[in-house]
Chain A
Amino acid sequence: QVQLVQSGAEVKKPGASVKVSCKASGDTFMSYGITWVRQAPGQGLEWMGWISAHNGNTNYAQKLQGRVTMTTDTSTSTAYMELRSLRSDDTAVYYCARKASLGKFGQDAMDVWGQGTTVTVSS
C-alpha cells in the first residue's frame, strides 16, 4: 500500500520561497501523478496542480502560474512543490496526493494523501 510522507512545517517571510517534499513508498512511483492541494486556515481545498512522475509533465492552476514549480526525483520516489514570492495569503496546509486512474473507465481521483505540511508566511 502506497504511503506519502511530507516534509515538516515551515515558517517563511514574505517574498521568500518554500519547497515542500512528498516521499512515496510502497508502490511504483512512476505509474502515477502527484497532485498538490492547499487549504488556508478555515477555508476549503484549493487544487494547485499536478505532475506526472512518469514523464515530468505538469499542469498548474492559472492563479499560481509563474510562482509554482513541481518536480519529481524518481531515484528517491520524491515529489517537490516550490512556491516563490510568498505572500501572507499563501499561509496554508499543503497536501500532496496520488492522482490515480480508477475503475474500468480510468476515472482520475486523488486516492492516497500525505499528512500535510503547514507553511506560515509572516514577517
Chain B
Amino acid sequence: DIQMTQSPSSLSASVGDRVTISCRTSQSISTYLNWYQQKPGKAPKLLIYGAFNLQSGVPSRFSGSGSGTDFTLTITSLQPEDFATYYCQQSYSTLLFTFGPGTKVNIK
C-alpha cells in the first residue's frame, strides 16, 4: 500500500499570510495527487487534481506543485474562509485511494 504523510499536522497563520503544506508518498505516484479542503461539519471539497490542476470554481490563490513523491499545496494571501483542514489523496493506485492524515490551518 502507498503510505502518505503530511507536514505540518497543524499550523497557525494570519489573514494575508502565505501558507505551504507538504504531502509525501512512500512510492512514486507521478502526478496522481489531489488536494481537498474540509471545514468542520462539512463534506470535503476538491481543490486541486493531478497535482497542479485547479478545480473549477476554486480561487486562484490555491495552487499545487510536485511530482513523484513530494507535493505541495500553497495558499497565497490566506483568507478567513481558508481556515480548515487540508488533505492530500493519491489516485495512482486504483485499489486504494489513500488520504493523508490532514493539516489543520488555524487562525493565529
Contacts and interface: CB of A to CB of B under 8 A. Distances in A.
Contact of B102 (A35, A45, A61): A45
A44 B87 contact: yes
B46 interface: yes
Interface of A: 35, 37, 44-47, 50, 59, 61-62, 95, 97, 102-103, 105, 107-111, 113-116
Main DSSP-derived SS at the B contact region: loop
A110 B53 contact: no
24 contacts: A35-B97, A37-B99, A44-B87, A44-B99, A44-B102, A45-B36, A46-B99, A47-B89, A47-B96, A47-B97, A47-B98, A59-B94, A95-B44, A102-B49, A102-B53, A103-B53, A107-B49, A107-B91, A108-B91, A108-B97, A109-B91, A110-B44, A113-B44, A114-B43
B54 to A, nearest CB: 10
Contact of B99 (A45, A107, A116): A45
Contacts, number: 72
Interface residues of B, number: 26
B87 A109 contact: no
Nearest to A50: B97
Interface of B: 1, 31-32, 34, 36, 38, 43-46, 49-50, 53, 55, 87, 89, 91, 94-102
Nearest to B31: A107
Contact of B43 (A46, A62, A115): A115
Given A108-B32, A108-B91, A109-B50, 14 more contacts: A44-B87, A44-B100, A45-B36, A102-B53, A103-B50, A103-B53, A109-B34, A109-B46, A110-B46, A111-B46, A111-B49, A113-B44, A113-B45, A114-B43
